Amino acid sequence: MAGFEVRMCNSQKGKGLFATKEFLPGDVILEEEPLVSCQFAHNAAYRYLACDHCMRPLETPEQNVRRLSAKQDIILPHSNCFETDLLNITSCNQCGILYCSQECKEISYATYHRSLCYIQSEVLHPISVLVETWKQIHYPPETTNIMLVVRLLAYIQQHDDPALAAENVKQFCHRTINEDAELVHKLLGEKFSDQLNTLREMTANVIRGEYIDEFLTPEGFSSLMALVGTNGQGIGTSPLALWVNSVSQLTMSDDERQQLDVFIDKIYQYVEEESGQFLNTEGSGLYQLQSACNHSCAPNAESSFPYGNHRIQLKAIRHIKPGDEIHISYLDDCTLQRSRHSRQRELSENYLFVCCCERCMSQSSEPDCTSDEEMSDDDLDD
Ligand SMILES: C[S@@+](CC[C@H](N)C(=O)[O-])C[C@H]1O[C@@H](n2cnc3c(N)ncnc32)[C@H](O)[C@@H]1O
């Protein structure tokens, strides 16, 4: 038994993910591979070398920390178990892009890469032109990626049953034409309508065909961009974080643990000094089940990437009973601590919905905050 189902919640929230069995805190609810995923364009340009399919970083924790801190003499203890991960690196025979394994290479080719394979050094290739244009339009911190759109179109094109694949794509949360336009405006900024048209024409130069042409009309493309903006799940992978996680589970004396903690704090300090906050290989993916999960300001589940690649895991963080809706938070921990007003502002500005979770509803009798003090960034809850 899967333990969950996707069904309608109400007309405001649309569909949601519901438990069909009990989950205790720490229980895994589901694990899922994305339909498609892709590393962000700037992240790749800044040498965050990753598997082109699953986003597994192609460096050991030690190589990772040395690059991010610019200190070539750092030696990480207990790091030998990670070396084996990198023994199977391979590349596409035609274009040379890198994969962490033969399996990723084969899945990628069979799912979307066959339609998109090109020699990366061809600066005038339509994909290079599109990616470079995207980088001009969408600066870091990146929230989505035009290549996710392109891979989605290639996924439909290469599918054994392209009509069914197009329907699968349309199952993701979608909106009215006006709401799509508003979301694309948010995504691309002030000059969004010219930019959207440019991106659409460039995307059509990369890929087109019977089952995807409907997504390449002005309306279809706007709706596809909004679909990716609403449903795209951020992915972050870091060999250093995996190493920290695995050494924290080793058995050692209190003294050794204390020394290790001091060492970890120190390397994070070096890394922050050299590389700021951009420490992870970052990208986004479209997940069929995960994207059915609605937001709550008091979530009972959270997602993570415990395998250091794009495979997502959803875990219970509170007791979930059969019939309960499974919620994650779309907000970071810090914003979650803030007032209802502040949380709702963040959600409506960035995700274009008015949150109707239980916590917001139970606080809806709170007066609306309008004073300068309450509008400030640190308007903490309660
Ligand atoms: C990733 S989708 C989640 C699945 C979606 N409900 C569906 O029908 O496909 C995100 C969208 O769900 C809706 N949503 C999610 N959480 C919500 C909440 N707490 N209150 C109101 N709407 C919510 C919003 O329309 C949001 O853009």
pLDDT at 317: 98
Protein residue with least CA distance to atom 23, ligand 1: 13
The percent of residues in the chain predicted with pLDDT above 90, rounded, is 66
Is residue 174 pLDDT above 80, yes or no?
Answer: no
Q: Which of 18-32, 61-75, 359-373 has the lowest mean pLDDT?
A: 359-373
CA–CA dist 368, 340 (Å, integer): 9
In the chain, the amino acid numbered 272 is E
Q: How far apart are CA 143 and CA 241, in angstroms?
A: 21
Q: Convert the pLDDT of each residue in 187-241 to its tens digit.
A: 787 788 889 999 999 999 999 999 999 999 999 999 999 999 889 999 999 889 8
Supply the pLDDT for residue 210: 94
pLDDT digits (tens, 9 = 90+) for 7-24: 999 888 889 999 999 999
Mutate to test the pocket of ligand 1, among 173, 287, 331 (most ligand atoms within 8 A of CB): 173
pLDDT in tens, 37-49: 999 998 888 878 8
Average model confidence (pLDDT) across the chain: 89
Residue 309 reports pLDDT greater than 60: yes
253-274 tens-digit pLDDT: 999 999 999 999 999 999 999 9
Closest by CA to 228, choosing from 179, 284, 280, is 284
Which residue shows structure tokens 């590393």? 39
Interface ipTM above 0.90: yes
Q: Ligand 1 atom closest to Cα of 175?
A: 25
Distance 365 CA to ligand 1 centre (A): 23
Least confident of 79-93, 102-116, 250-264: 79-93
CA of 284 to the centre of ligand 1 (A): 18
Whether residue 372 has pLDDT greater than 80: no
Flag whether pLDDT at 83 surpasses 70.
no
Ligand 1 pocket, CB under 6 A: 12-16, 173, 230-231, 291-292, 294-296, 351, 353, 355-357
> Does the pLDDT value for residue 84 go beyond 70?
no
| Nearest-atom index, ligand 1, CA of 352 | 27
If you average pLDDT over residues 88-106, what whole number do you get?
94
* Section 133-149 average pLDDT: 86
Give 162 Cα–ligand 1 centroid separation in angstroms: 27
Q: What is the pTM of this model?
A: 0.89
Altogether, the residues listed in the chain come to a count of 382
Tokens of 207: 């890929």
Structure confidence at residue 85 as a pLDDT band (50, 70, 90): confident
Is 308 exposed, middle or buried, given 0-12, 13-18 or 19+ CB atoms closer than 10 A?
Answer: buried
CA-based nearest residue to 151, from 217, 57, 53: 53
pLDDT digits (tens, 9 = 90+) for 267-306: 999 999 998 877 889 999 999 999 999 999 999 999 999 9
